[in-house]
Amino acid sequence: MTRRSFGLLLALLGLAAACEPPSDRALEPVWGKQPCGHCAMLLQDRGAAAELVTPSGERVYFDDVGCMISWLDERKSAPAHAWVRGPGGRGWVEARATLYAPGARTPMDFGFVAAVDGADAISYDEMARRVLGRAASRKEAP
């Protein structure tokens, strides 16, 4: 390999790295075309969507925060980053740093959306516990 071709190779690698989307911030899915990473339903409801980046850099979208929790539990892994749609479906917020309102209408009927606060608002860990408890009871039912 000549010095010139080596320099060209380095420049191309640098350009490819610069085009890679940052993994430390949420990106919008292609609404109505992006399938959920867990149930494969197309993402439509902006108020209930979730997104994560795996430690290997894979970005996965979910139509319901319950699908994200189930997906993580099935893989027994933790995400490098995870977000949910903010209250009212606007913007993205860190999944662990927000509160959740139970009883919401969501695509897969897990029933949790991000909340500002409130007497009924629960933590991420409590929401995840309830999602997994519900999933376990569904498996036990005949």
Determine how many CB atoms are found less than 10 A away from the CB of residue 21.
10
pLDDT at 16 over 50: no
pLDDT > 90: what percent of the chain? 70
**Pair 80, 55: CB distance under 8 Å:** yes
Q: Which residues contact 81 (CB under 8 A, 6 or more apart)?
A: 23, 24, 25, 26, 52, 53, 94
- Over range 82-103, report the average pLDDT: 94
pLDDT at 21 over 70: no
Q: Which residues contact 98 (CB under 8 A, 6 or more apart)?
A: 84, 86, 114, 115, 124
How sure is the predictor about 6, in pLDDT bands with cuts at 50, 70 and 90? low
Tell me which of 2 and 98 has the higher pLDDT.
Answer: 98
Which pLDDT score is estimated for 7?
Answer: 52
How sure is the predictor about 5, in pLDDT bands with cuts at 50, 70 and 90? low
Mean pLDDT of the chain: 87
- Over range 115-129, report the average pLDDT: 91
Tell me which of 42 and 139 has the higher pLDDT.
Answer: 42
pLDDT at 17 over 60: no
pLDDT at 70 over 70: yes
Which pLDDT score is estimated for 137?
Answer: 73
